[in-house]
Chain A
Amino acid sequence: MNNNGTILSVNDLRTYFQTEDGIVKAVDGITFTLEKGETLGIVGESGSGKSVTNLSVMRLIPEPPGKIVAGDIIFNGIDVRALSIDQVRKIRGKRMAMIFQDPMTSLNPFLKISTQLMEVTRLHLGHSKQEAYQHAIKMLETVGIPDAESRVDGYPHEFSGGMRQRVMIAMALSCDPELLIADEPTTALDVTIQAQILELIKDLKARMGTSVILITHDLGVVAGMTDKIIVMYAGKVFEQAPTRELFRTPANPYTKGLLRSVPDPAHEQGKELYQIPGLPPDVAHLPPGCPFAERCERAEDICRREFPPFVQINADHHSLCHFADEVYAESVREAESAALPVNRDTE
């Protein structure tokens, strides 16, 4: 972790959607900071608000029905919410870029790969056609597309899913952005391809010094990639901690549930894999208490009655739970009694 300044700080962000069922608080009071060169993982089930958080940072929330109703987004000292949309466009694609979940639909099927790559650098770096073309080839080579020179003039449908995601990454990194947001970059891909793409992102990050936000529903994906992790549930941050600590000593029952449901290579044959019971709540009609209470193993009356506090465990570790301290203490005990050489931590 090289602490040479904060690249992104999000404070009490609230993004709501107007729907037929009423107002959906997709993101409701999210706070985090990302230091330069750091990788942040945002984990949660679908509908937890992790994608909306990052679309808000890029100011890509479709409006209406969505709206950022409160909070600050400070990117490199720039107040993103205060910018005009034209000023935001100068940052998008140049200083912060995004990779989306489904590479099959995220590339324009009607345009050549070269066209789609070239337009970014021609817009932001003032490249001539020739420069942009050469740069496009160079970027495709960088992300490991074989025979880039001939494939650059192909169309997306001529590429496989993994290759398309590489093209997306090449496009996102074309202008050497300071921040890269990867929204479930591997979810739509085959398991074997997933590892390659993650390795590529990790490698490029190290080479280019980009700060990364990695959004995923899969704790297994973020384990070896991130410096710290935010766990989101129903539009709220449930737990926030450095990666190592979160895996070793989680202080939230939801995080513990997620950790238990990650398949372990050393998983005993025939032993049942844990799954969190129930379904994510309907964000339009949240109960007054803890949104996770219905599915929580250790929920008590207070959980259904009162909204839980955001408890600070230590300087970098927070948890949204009435019993955060107890859960934490329990995790510490478990970790010590098992004398685990914390095997999930790859650091």
Chain B
Amino acid sequence: MLGFILRRLLIIIPMALLVVSVTWILIRAAPGSFYSEERALPPAIEANIREKYGLDKPFYQQYMMMLGNVLKGDFGDSLRYQEQSVNEIIARHLPYSATIGALAYLLALFVGLTAGIIAALRQNSAFDYGSMAFAMLGLSVPNFVLGPILVIVFSLWLFWLPPARWGGISNLIMPVFTLAAIYMAYIARLTRAGMLEVMRSDYIRTARAKGLDEKTVLLKHGLRGGIVPVVSFTGPALASLLAGTVVVEKVFAIPGLGNIFIQSVLNRDEPLTLGIVAFLSILIMIFNLAVDISYGFLDPRIRYE
């Protein structure tokens, strides 16, 4: 088990380098560069800058330089935000996104699992239909529509919550809910479907034949198998959470990493884009590893060597 984790952790490094390389190639493949847009500079200054960033060297040398720096964990300075290193920018903006993301994740898991289990337990009840209708709504209403609607209702009509910006807990409620909505819906549906599937299996019939009450049958015998699909969803969910944070940060004027990333891509701020992509890909891979490890705890048939 320990060996498996170590090996997977070691693989993350070359995988992240691959991701960064592909990203670098993608950025270089796109026509134009940071300086080619409205920021046309006098040729002498541009030549200076090109030298500073090594843009005058052949591609493979630039690539090797980039890889070397990335391996050292040094992405250099942002082109857009002068005199600020990429690592500083990430460290400054990450806490906002991470707070909202983590809270949304926990909320989605808690509400989704609870609703899904109860809906499966009381299949075809009013709760089942109600929660599944809500879940369908959550899947069908884009979050950039949901967010503004929440703002209208809770800030402009009811004056309960502040409409935007960073601050206390009350500032977090709407962004977190907006971000969590679609994952709540997904997890509730996956949990319900997984539980219903498991509850049809032979070993559940065995558990019932033993005389166990329905609650024990469900929680002790059904739950583990039922939430396997939810666990496999949590990996990809993290990756797509990023796109969600972009919207939420924009709607609620939160200075998070999501918008910094979009801006960096649009501005061709190569070091910043590379830094954020490297950071995110490592995060995603660590998370996928965590998912795989939790499979092992969930299902004794899976053994990692």
Interface residues of A (CB under 8 A from B): 58, 60, 86, 89-94, 97-98, 100, 102, 105-112, 119-120, 123-124, 155, 157, 168, 171
Contacts and interface: CB of A to CB of B under 8 A. Distances in A.
B264 to A, nearest CB: 45
Contacts of A102: 202
A155 B210 CA distance: 18
A309 B36 CA distance: 96
Nearest to B210: A93
B206 interface: yes
A61 to B, nearest CB: 11
A110 B210 contact: no
A272 to B, nearest CB: 37
Contact of B221 (A86, A97, A108): A108
Contact of A108 (B207, B209, B211, B213): B207
B32 interface: no
B202 A106 contact: yes
Contact of A93 (B209, B224, B298, B299): B209
- Which among B206, B211, B224, B301 has the greatest number of chain A C-beta atoms within 10 A? B211
B209 A157 contact: no
Given A109-B300, A110-B224, A155-B300, A94 B211 contact: yes
Given A109-B300, A110-B298, A157-B300, A92 B210 contact: yes
Interface in B275-305: 298-301
B93 interface: no
Contacts of B225: 109-110
A284 B92 CA distance: 69
A89 B205 contact: no
A106 B211 contact: no
What size tier do the contact residues of chain B reach?
20 to 34
B211 A107 contact: no
Contacts of B207: 108
B240 interface: no
Nearest to A101: B202
B203 interface: yes
Contacts of A109: 203, 225, 299-301
Contacts of A110: 221, 224-225, 298-300
Given A100-B206, A110-B225, A155 B301 contact: yes
- Which among A92, A107, A110, A155 has the greatest number of chain B C-beta atoms within 10 A? A110
23 contacts: A60-B205, A90-B211, A97-B209, A100-B205, A100-B206, A100-B209, A102-B202, A105-B201, A105-B202, A106-B202, A106-B205, A108-B221, A109-B299, A110-B221, A110-B225, A110-B299, A110-B300, A119-B210, A119-B212, A119-B220, A155-B301, A171-B206, A171-B210
B229 to A, nearest CB: 14
B80 interface: no
Contacts of B224: 110
Nearest to A92: B211
Contacts of B298: 110
B201 to A, nearest CB: 7
